[in-house]
Structures are given as C-alpha cells and as structure tokens.
Structure 1
Amino acid sequence: MISVIVPTHNRREVLAKKLRALENQPGAFEVIVVADGCTDDTLEFLQQYKPPFAFHFLEITPGLGAANARNRGAGMARGDILLFSDDDVIPQPGWIEAHQKAHTRPRTVAVGRLELPPALRGTGAAELKGPRAFWWNITGNNTSLPRALFEEVGGYDPAFSGYGGEDPDLGYRLMRAGARLVFVREALAVHEAFDYQGQAIEKARQAGAAHVRVWQKHHDPRIAWALGVHPVLVSLKLALLPSFKGLLGARGDYELAYAWGASEAWNPPSAS
C-alpha cells in the first residue's frame, strides 16, 4: 500500500481540489494530511471530509514547516511506500498506479512528472518533464520511496524550517545511501503553486539562501554546483543578470533573486 503524505498550511480550497482528484484514483492507498499551523477553515473541512479511500489527518500547532510536517505524516503511515505530494500538486489519472508500478526493485526513489498550468510557465516554479531525474529533483511534490529507506536516511531535516532546502538535503542523502532513482513519466501531477505568483521573488531569494545551507551542511562542492549556488556561479549571475535578465523573460527576475539570496547566505551582513 502507498501512503500519500500531504502537508498543508492555510490552503483549504486547493487542498480540497487535490483530495477530490485522489477520489478517482484506483489502487490501494491511504492519504495523510498534516495541517501545519492552519488558522483558516482547513480543520473544519478535514473533520467533515468523508472520502472513499483510507484517510487520516493531524494538526500541528504552531506550524513548524514542511519538513517537520512530512516527517509527522510519515510517522503515521501504514504503507510500505511513502508518496510525498504538497497540497497544491493535483494528481492526474493513473498517478497512484504509476508510482506503485515503479517500485519493482528495492531502494527505488520514484520521481513523477510535474507540469505547470500555462499561467505559471517560465516563472521559476518547479516543473519536471524528464526523461531523467537527479537527486536534486527529489521533492515533496511528486516523489515516492520505501518507508524503510526514508527512515534509514533519517527523513527530512526539520532544521530547514523556512522555505527551501529540505528537498535537496533529503535527495543528497538518498543519493549517498545508494538509492535507485527513476523518473516516472506516467505519474503526472500539475503543480498549481497556489500562492506562487504573489511570492515568487521572495521564495527565490529564500531558496538561494537555503541551498547554500545545504552545501554548508554536507561540505560537498557538487551540491553548490548542482544547485547553482557556488560562489563562482553566484558572482557571474550577479554581474550579468541585471543587464541580461530580460532575455529570460519572467524567469530572469527569479534567477536574480535566487542569486541574491545565495550571496547573502555566503556573505551575511556583520552585526552592527
């Protein structure tokens, strides 16, 4: 059985859309929603929701971030396979079955295909179409793995409590543990990125800083190059993007903010 782990924070409307999309999925699975510091009507909705699949939810107050919420959800799971998928990622037909079929060999980490709605394409929001996936593509959006492997590497690091960092940190540790990484084209989900348009630049800045912290944690220069936060890359981006970011369209602003966030993490301002 697959256990679908869904962290959520004050996004009842899009969470409801996700859960209703899951109602049409065949296969043996359960869904665990972790309401992380919700102050809207999410809890009232979850208390009244009666789906056709096995369903559990828990509340965390105060909210401690996605990494902690995913760990808590995994701790409740009864399935041998954990499928992490955020509240604004809408599964398409055959999603559960595709992830189930991917686990024919041990220590497999399956990364599904992730697409964006037209309004968000080119903004820097996460999108993955294959044909391959790498450790830095392992995210809480559309990734499944054996529960035993997740526990072996220690799960998500709750020290990454802000935006960004927890996914590549987990992906790197899974790679080091010898996980078999596969891209599953049939496991399609649409990343609606519910609040992305209004917060894209600030999220990019936070992600740049968080990815520097991933490198600082593991001290492997491959991380800095793969995540685009090596000081050489950051310096080049800061030198060139102010003049040429327009050539990248909407993504130019995202890339510049990402570089600024990384630069600030490399060179934190001294205390006055």
Structure 2
Amino acid sequence: MLSVIVPTHNRRALLEKKLRLLEVQRGEFEVVVVADGCTDGTLEFLSQYRPPFPFRFLELAPGLGAAGARNRGAQAATGDILLFSDDDVMPQPGWIEAHQKAHAQPRVVAVGRLELPPELRGTGAAELRGPRAFWWNVTGNNTSLPKALFEEVGGYDPAFSGYGGEDPDLGYRLMRAGARLVFLGDAVAVHEAFDYRGRALEKARQAGAAHVRVWRKHGDPRIAWALGVHPVLLAIKLALLPSFKGLLGARGDYELAYAWGASDAWNQSSAS
C-alpha cells in the first residue's frame, strides 16, 4: 500500500481541493495529513472529513516546518511506500497508479512530472518535465520511495526548519545510499500556489542560503554546482544579473534574489 503524506499550514481551500482530487484516484492508498499549527478552520474540516480512502490527520504545534511535518507523517504511515505531496500540488488522473507501478523494483525513488498552471509559467517556480530525474529533483511535491529506505537514510533533516534545503539534502543522501532515481512522466501533478507576487523573492533568498548549508553539511562540491551556489557561479550571476535579469522576465528577479541569499550565507560563514 502507498501512503500519501500531505503537510499543510493554513491553506484549507487548497487542501480540500487536493483531497477531493484524491477521492477519484484509483489504487490502494491511504492519506496522512499533517496540520502544522493551523488556525484557519483546517482542523475543523479534517475532523469532519469522511473520504472513501483510509485517512488520518495529525495536529502539530506551530513552527515544526516542512521537514519535521513530513517526518511525523512518515512515522504515522502504514504503507510500504511513502508519497510526499504538499497541499498545493494537485494530482492528475492516474497519479497514484503511476507511483505504485514504479516500485516493482527495490530501492526506487520515483519523481513525478510537475507542471504549473499557465499563468505561473516563467515566474520562478520550477517545473519538471523529464525525461530524467536527478537527486536535486527529489522534492516534497511529487516523490515516492519505500518507507524502509526513507528510514534507512534518516528521513528529512529537521535542522532545515526554514524555507528550502530539506529536499536536496534528502535527495543527496538517497543518491549516496544507492537509490535508483526514476522519472515518472505519467505521474502528473500541478503546482498551483507559487506566490510570485508576495513572498517569492524572500523565499528565493532563503533557498539560496539553505542550499549553501546543504553543501557545507556534506562538503561535496557537486552539490554547489548542481544547486547553483558555487562561489564561481555566484560571482558570474551577481556580475551579470543586475544588468540583464530583465531578459529573463520574472525569473530574472527570482534568480538574482537566490544568488544574493547564497552569497550572504557564504559571507556570514566566512566571517564566523
């Protein structure tokens, strides 16, 4: 059986939409919702929700963050396979079945196809259309793996309690553990709630800083190159993007904020 792990924080409407879409999925699965400090009526909705699939929800004190919430959901899951998918990621038809079929072989980490609504393309949010998946593509949006493998590598690192870092850190450890990463073109999900008008640039700065922390944690230069936070790459970005970011549209602002966040993290670590 497959366990869908859904962390959520004060996004009741999106969560309800996701759960309604899961109601029409085929396959054997359960859903574990982890409500992290919700104050918007989410808990009241979950306590009354009666879906056609096995379902449970956990209530956590606020501030645990995505990594900690996903770990709690994984601990409560009863399925052999964990499928991590955030509350703003909407599964399309055949999503569950595609992830289940991917695990006919052992030690598979399956990364599904991630798309954006048309109005969000080019805003800085990432899409993943394949045809291959790499360790840095492992995210809490659309990734499944055996529960035993997740536990073997220690799950998510709760030290990444802010925005960013927890996904590539897990992906890197899975790669080092010999996991087989596969891309699932049939496991399509749509990422609906990327906030490019609000906190997107601040989140980009936080992600840049967090990815520097991933490199410093493991000390492998491949991490810095893959995540775009190597000092050589940062020097090039910070020299060119202020003048040419307009050529990239909204993506240019996102990339510059990401580079500034990573550069600040390097400067702070050097000073200490």
- Taking structure 1 as the reference length, what is the TM-score of the superposition? 0.98
Offset of residue 246 of structure 1? 0.7
Aligned residue in 2 for 1:168: 168
In structure 2, what is the equivalent of residue 59 of structure 1? Answer: 59
Paired residue type of 2:63: G
Aligned-residue RMSD, C-alpha: 1.2
Decide whether the 8 Å contact of 2:124 with 2:196 is kept in 1: no
What residue ranges of structure 2 are gaps of 5+ in the alignment?
none
Counterpart in 2 of 1:31? 31
How many pairs does the alignment contain? 271
The 1:15–1:195 alpha-carbon spacing in structure 2 relative to 1, beyond 3 Å, is: farther
Asked whether the 8 Å contact 1:29–1:79 carries over to 2, the reply is yes
Q: Show the counterpart of 2:189.
A: 189
Q: Secondary structure, in 3 states, of the residue corresponding to 2:197?
A: helix
* Distance across 2 between alignment mates of 1:150 and 1:34: 18
- Report the Cα offset of residue 269 of structure 1: 8.8
For 1:1-272, list aligned pairs within 5 A.
1-193=1-193, 195-268=195-268
Deviation at 1:257, TM superposition (A): 0.2
Most deviating of 34-43 and 167-176: 34-43
3-state DSSP of counterpart to 2:145: strand
SS in 2 for 1:185: strand
Contact 1:4 1:30 in 2 (8 A): yes
* DSSP 3-state at the match of 2:19: helix
| Letter paired with 1:127 | E
Measured after TM superposition, the shift of residue 198 of structure 1 is 1.5
Rounded Cα–Cα distance in structure 2 between residues aligned with 1:7 and 1:226: 27
**Distance (Å, rounded) in 2 between the aligned partners of 1:133 and 1:126:** 14
Could you give the per-residue CA deviations for residues 210-259 of structure 1, whole angstroms, max 9, x where no partner exists?
00000000000000000000011011101100000011111000000000
The 2-side partners of 1:270 and 1:185 are apart by 42
Give the aligned residue type for 2:50: K
Paired with 1:196 and 1:152, the residues of 2 have a C-alpha distance of: 36
- C-alpha separation between the residues in 1 aligned to 2:3 and 2:119? 31
Assess if the C-alpha contact under 8 Å between 1:38 and 1:63 holds in 2: no
Q: Is the 8 A contact 1:120 1:197 kept in 2?
A: no
Distance 1:64 1:152 in 2: 22
The alpha-carbon deviation at position 270 of structure 1 amounts to 9.4
Q: CA deviation at 1:268?
A: 1.7
* Counterparts in 2 of 1:176 and 1:75: CA distance versus 1, 3 Å: same
Cα pair 1:155 1:170 within 8 Å, conserved: yes
* Equivalent residues of 1:126, 1:191 under 8 A apart: no
Q: Which SS does the other structure have where 1:103 is aligned? A: helix
Amino acid at match of 1:180: R
TM-score (structure 2 length as normaliser): 0.98
What code does the residue aligned with 2:49 have? Y
% identical equivalent positions: 84
Looking at structure 2, the residues matched to 173 and 53 of structure 1 have their Cα atoms a distance apart, in angstroms, of 32
- Displacement of 1:194 in angstroms is 5.0
Query: What amino acid maps onto 1:176 in structure 2?
Result: R
Query: Structure 1: which 4+ aligned runs deviate by more than 4 Å?
Result: none
